């Protein structure tokens, strides 16, 4: 391991240690800082997962309250964002279970057949598209809306968050092979949809 990598790892671990201690103390200023730091990334993840701006906003607030309440469970050997996204995901699953009752096994042990976290599209098609801004926002949002949430989820963790595949597997609580298969399928679907849109 190089000196720079070693220094980086130490810094990351040190930061995670400070976060863990602060969460145990329920340090309000630390929570303020973490909300600021991860606001955008968490919101984007929740939006991708739920496909709804309102639900993403509700879950955003609930996630931080849960972080506060379960802060003593955070261990510094995990990266904070991995733990944060795991909490957000569990809340989203609870939310989906309330909205779309199905067996707990189907939600937590998803197979490709039962389309985990699949939401009924209760929002108008433009609502999801309006949630995005950027040059190609409308096209990407249209393409994303047609992807199952479980595919959107891994795509955002991989290509927005730059997470390693193992980390993604930990967040989504699925085997590495499932994560890879969702990534490949998601990428193929996204490419096809965008190809059609641009054509």
Q: With binding defined as CB under 8 A, does residue 26 bind other proteins?
A: yes
Per the CB < 8 A criterion, the answer to whether 134 and 144 are in contact is no
Question: Which is it for the CA torsion 125, 115, 88, 55, positive or negative?
Answer: positive
Q: List the one residue from 12, 73, 160, 166 that touches other proteins (CB under 8 A).
A: 160
All residues at 6 or more sequence positions from 120 whose CB lies less than 8 Å from its CB, including other chains: 100
Nearer to other proteins, 10 or 188 (CB): 188
- Interface of this chain with other proteins, residues 77 to 116, rule: CB under 8 A: none
- Cα–Cα distances (Å) from 156 to 18, 46, 69, 178, 182, in that order, read 27, 10, 26, 16, 12
Q: With binding defined as CB under 8 A, does residue 60 bind other proteins?
A: yes
Q: With binding defined as CB under 8 A, does residue 59 bind other proteins?
A: no
DSSP state of 25: H
Q: With binding defined as CB under 8 A, does residue 44 bind other proteins?
A: yes
Q: With binding defined as CB under 8 A, does residue 183 bind other proteins?
A: yes
DSSP state of 116: T
Structure-token pair, residue 73: 């469970």
Q: Which residues of this chain interact with other proteins, rule CB under 8 A?
A: 26-28, 31-32, 35-36, 39-40, 43-44, 47, 53, 56-57, 60-62, 64-65, 68-69, 130-137, 139-141, 143-144, 155, 158-160, 165, 180, 183-184, 187-188, 190-191, 194-195, 198
């Amino acid at each position: 391991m190089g000196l720079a990598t070693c220094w980086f790892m130490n810094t990351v671990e040190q930061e995670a240690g400070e976060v863990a201690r602060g969460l145990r103390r329920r340090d309000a200023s630390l929570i303020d800082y973490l909300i600021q730091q991860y606001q955008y990334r968490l919101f984007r993840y929740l939006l991708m997962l739920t496909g709804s701006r309102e639900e993403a906003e509700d879950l955003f607030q609930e996630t931080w309250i849960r972080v506060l309440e379960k802060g003593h469970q955070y261990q510094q050997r995990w990266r904070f964002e991995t733990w944060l996204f795991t909490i957000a995901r569990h809340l989203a699953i609870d939310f989906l279970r309330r909205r779309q009752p199905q067996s707990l096994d189907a939600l937590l042990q998803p197979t490709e057949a039962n389309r985990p976290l699949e939401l009924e599209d209760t929002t108008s098609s433009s609502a999801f598209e309006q949630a995005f801004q950027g040059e190609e926002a409308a096209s990407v949002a249209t393409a994303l809306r047609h992807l199952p949430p479980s595919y959107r989820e891994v795509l955002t963790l991989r290509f927005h968050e730059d997470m390693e595949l193992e980390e993604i597997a930990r967040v989504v609580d699925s085997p590495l092979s499932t994560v890879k298969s969702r990534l490949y399928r998601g990428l193929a679907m996204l490419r096809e949809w965008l190809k059609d849109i641009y054509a």
